[in-house]
Amino acid sequence: MKIGITGSGGFIGKHLIKILKDKENVQLYYFDLPKYDLLKPASLKEFVSDKDIIVHTAAINRGSDAEIISGSVIATYNLISAISKLKIKPKLIFSSSTQAETDTVYGLSKKLTEVMLESFSEDYKIPISIFRVTNVFGENCKPFYNSVVATFCHQIVNNKKLIINNKRRKISFIYVKDLVRIISKEIFTRRKKLFYFKRVNSNNIITVEKLANLISSFRNIKDSKGLKSKFNKDLYNTYLSYSK
């Protein structure tokens, strides 16, 4: 099975590669900057040409409105255009975001991309699975970019002052290793319907203030044995990755 991964050098992409690279009869192909660019269609032909599965994790989380829209909508349009021109039918798995339920530019770009992919699946009879994912955290997540968890871990490890906005805001989180297991399972799942959509929720709901206090408390413990929940242990492991 030949699996192509866009955003292979990114946060989710790297974790996905870790669990796929040792599987039997799997060949992985990587597509990411600076060598390859989804905004340059010419670089896509070879990447999509003989793939059985394409996992589309590439995205721009921060930037100007134009950069965010390009990184989601135009990048995905170029990807599916390359597929349609070659008249091939790989299974496409797209990592979306629950931000698609907001009116932010990032959210609207994700929503539009979802709609575009559903239409593409119907028109070209190509299997597409979309996972609309809640806030993802984990080891090697970029501070001030991917997740507030990464930002807090970075600040606490480096003895920086925490700036906490919207203290009472509740956020749902999913651990990146749990997410890539879901994606990996989907890679090897054959569905009766061409289009599949799933909102990936989590019971890991916490206020911003409590999150900051919890991560701050990790400075005073030596291991995760005393932590009761899986969520707390996952947060602690994430914290440790920034202290190395």
Q: List the 135-137 sheet strands across, edge first.
A: 135-137, 170-175, 204-207
For residue 243, the model assigns a pLDDT of: 85
Higher pLDDT, 244 or 2: 2
Beta strands in 114-165 (DSSP E): 128-133, 135-137
Q: CB neighbours of 163 closer than 8 A, spacing ≥ 6?
A: none
| Residue 74 vs residues 39, 61, 66, 122, 208: alpha-carbon distances, Å | 7, 14, 10, 19, 33
- Domains, the chain, in order of start with CATH, read 2-243 (3.40.50.720)
Residues 128, 55: Cα–Cα separation, whole Å: 10
- 224 pLDDT higher than 80: yes
Q: What is the DSSP letter of 228?
A: -
String of DSSP letters for 4-28 = EEETTTSHHHHHHHHHHTTSTT-EE
Residues in the chain: 244
Range 200-224 average pLDDT: 94
Task: Note the pLDDT tens digit of each residue in 185-206.
Answer: 999 999 999 999 999 999 999 9
- 244 pLDDT higher than 80: no
- 95 pLDDT higher than 90: yes
Residues in a beta bridge with 53: 3, 91
Residues 117, 194: Cα–Cα separation, whole Å: 11
String of DSSP letters for 47-110 = HHTT-SEEEE-----SS-HHHHHIIIIIHHHHHHHHHHHHT---EEEEEEEGGGGSSSHHHHHH
Task: Note the pLDDT tens digit of each residue in 17-69.
Answer: 999 998 999 999 999 988 899 999 888 999 999 999 999 999 888 889 999 99
> The pTM is what?
0.94
Could you tell me if 31 and 8 are in contact, meaning their C-beta atoms sit under 8 angstroms apart?
Answer: yes
Could you tell me if 92 and 56 are in contact, meaning their C-beta atoms sit under 8 angstroms apart?
Answer: yes
